Structure 1
Amino acid sequence: MKSKALFLFCAFIFTAMLSRAQVAYGPKDTIRVATTNYNGEIIPWVVIGEVTVIDKRTFKSKEDFDNYRRLRYNVLKVLPYARFAGQRYRQLERDLALTNDKRKQKELIKSCDKEIKDLFNDKIKNLTISQGEILIKLIDRETNNSSFDLVKDLKGNVPAFLMQSVAKIFGHDLKTKYDVDQDMEIEGIIHSVGYYSYQ
């Protein structure tokens, strides 16, 4: 019995030494990093990306938790629309900067307007009032312009006034601006899904 245990122990040691002897280091096994001399000691350092530490959120009541869940749902529902609007607006700005021809600029604006309407017309019509308010804020966040200013710049004063009037009937204000401090709940939700912004 003792000899069997001794044999197994020796076999284990031999196998461990054999596996260790098979480790070979090649030229690609070395990672070069920057170093700093700190009080005579060489310390390697590596630059890493920004890390955001978020504490687990607690709520005072079930009602607060339900309100937060509803807000999160609404933000995540309209965020893709705002992101697309921001990307399309930046593309339109680049296209308009390449031409001085007024007719060509009108065609570009009309094409952009049609593309956005075709893509989102049915979906945006079905948004709730609170989702519409969040969308207006997020468009301002993405483009750094209120929805009213975007319509005014692209279509003129009269269409902007008419759209603002219609929005007011439904309880919206196209001049609403996004304020990070005031809308920090929305900002926190956006950051929690890993999206920051183009700006």
Structure 2
Amino acid sequence: MINKALLLFCSLFSVASLSMAQNTYVSAGTNDTIRVAAINVNGEIMPWIVLKEVVVADYRRFATKEDYDRFRRLRYNVIKVLPYARFAGQRYRQLERDLATTSDKRKQKQYVKDCDKEIKDLFNREVKNLTISQGEILIKLIDRETQHSSYELVRDLKGNVSAFVMQSVAKLFGHDLKNKYDVDQERDIEAIIRSTGYYSYQ
């Protein structure tokens, strides 16, 4: 008899607790819920969220040790110059935004001058110490970041004469400022960039 009464009491207590929990959930404030987007699929509302892209890559195997060493050098060089290319892309996009805010030729000229000074300061401080291979990669990555070759950027900022002079100097060191970035041709560089978790400025 006592066991039955105890069992009945426990059951009632459990029901009461569940009821209170349900009431507590229902009366929760608006800040206690997670809002997500939803879509109607055949009359059923289905929530959805956007997840970050997950890249699945196979382990790379190299035919020879020379191939492996060559890839390691390429990876080192790409990672070394990538911050400079990103800076160039960010600074160029900032310049485009600044130029779009005014039609005042004097202000536009000052914006270009400021941008040129920042790039020169970076060059004199760090970029000038890059190797020839790193410089060649940097030229390609600048095109990847800005969708403009280094030659086009110099021409737009400094004029045709400066672009010609810079191209001539670059040629002396085995570079071509008109080099464009081709994802299909630069599959190793693109794979290295993606392995760092960086895709593009967008």
TM-score range, shorter chain: 0.7 to 0.9
SS at match of 2:76: helix
- Are residue 129 (structure 1) and residue 124 (structure 2) matched? no
- 1:48 is matched with 51
TM-aligned CA distance change 1:198 to 1:32, over 3 Å: closer
Q: Write the distance in 2 (CA, Å) between the matches of 1:198 and 1:111.
A: 22
- Give the stretch that moved more between structures: 146-155 or 25-34: 25-34
Unaligned runs of 5+ in 2: 1-16
Q: Write the distance in 2 (CA, Å) between the matches of 1:69 and 1:97.
A: 42
Aligned residues: 175
**Cα-Cα RMSD:** 2.5
Percentage of identical aligned residues: 73
SS at match of 1:172: coil
Q: Which amino acid aligns with 1:137?
A: K
Q: Which amino acid aligns with 1:49?
A: K
- Are residue 169 (structure 1) and residue 165 (structure 2) matched? no
TM-aligned CA distance change 1:108 to 1:45, over 3 Å: closer
Q: Write the distance in 2 (CA, Å) between the matches of 1:47 and 1:98.
A: 33
- 1:188 is matched with 191
Shift >3 Å, 4+ stretches: 24-38, 42-47
TM-aligned CA distance change 1:53 to 1:158, over 3 Å: same
Q: Which amino acid aligns with 2:51?
A: I
Q: 1:59 aligns with which of 42, 58, 62?
A: 62
Q: Write the distance in 2 (CA, Å) between the matches of 1:90 and 1:35.
A: 36
- Give 1:1-199 correspondences, 5 Å limit: 27=25, 47-199=50-202
Q: Write the distance in 1 (CA, Å) between the matches of 2:64 and 2:70.
A: 10
Q: Write the distance in 2 (CA, Å) between the matches of 1:197 and 1:32.
A: 29
Q: Which amino acid aligns with 2:175?
A: H
- 2:6 is matched with none
TM-score (norm 1): 0.78
